[in-house]
Amino acid sequence: MTRPAQAFADHRGANVHNIGQTPASKSDELPYGKIRNGELPPMMFQIRMNNGQTVSFAYSDVREIRSRDAGFVQIGVFAMSRVMITIEGRNLIELTNLLGMAMIRWISEADPRGEERPETSPEIDSISIEPIDAG
């Protein structure tokens, strides 16, 4: 008779299949990264532009989040410099709510050369970061 530890080591994962989750296709991915259950809220969120530029902002500097409709979000960041981040796309209500709870790690602008996404899924067409006049 073999030792139990050796028997488990010899047959580890041989007949185990993950049926709960299927790998997400590129069109199923969200244009933003949510924190997972049990994780602490992040101190900063990152804006990823389609030209490769990334800019990070501290949640502690966010002073307002505005949503005109499901495709328009504005974030007022008042730090050493004051900026207004404007996000335009579609189906962004969940993004707006998660930003208000500091549960977003990153937000990514869509690549114009990327594949088409279903109309029902969120998409970020453009992100602009503009200075706010102190006047």
pLDDT in tens, 58-83: 999 999 999 999 999 999 999 989 99
The answer to whether residues 61 and 43 touch, using CB atoms and an 8 Å cutoff, is no
pTM score, two decimals? 0.76
- The pLDDT-based confidence of 22 (bands split at 50, 70, 90) is very low
Identify whether 23 is part of a domain. Answer: no
**Judging by DSSP bridges, how do beta strands 62-69 and 82-90 pair with one another?**
unpaired
Identify whether 7 is part of a domain. Answer: no
The reported pLDDT for the residue numbered 4 is 63
Cα–chain center distance at 92: 11
Identify whether 24 is part of a domain. Answer: no
Neighbours of 45 (CB within 10 A): 25
Please give the residue range of the domain that contains residue 109: 30-131
**In the predicted model, what is the mean pLDDT of the chain?**
85
The reported pLDDT for the residue numbered 27 is 47
- pLDDT, average across residues 12-24: 49
- The pLDDT-based confidence of 11 (bands split at 50, 70, 90) is low
How far is 121 from 14, CA to CA, in rounded Å? Answer: 36
Total number of domains in the chain: 1
**Sole residue written with tokens 């101190």:** 43
Identify whether 12 is part of a domain. Answer: no
Identify whether 22 is part of a domain. Answer: no
Neighbours of 87 (CB within 10 A): 24
Identify whether 19 is part of a domain. Answer: no
Identify whether 50 is part of a domain. Answer: yes
Cα–chain center distance at 72: 16
Identify whether 41 is part of a domain. Answer: yes
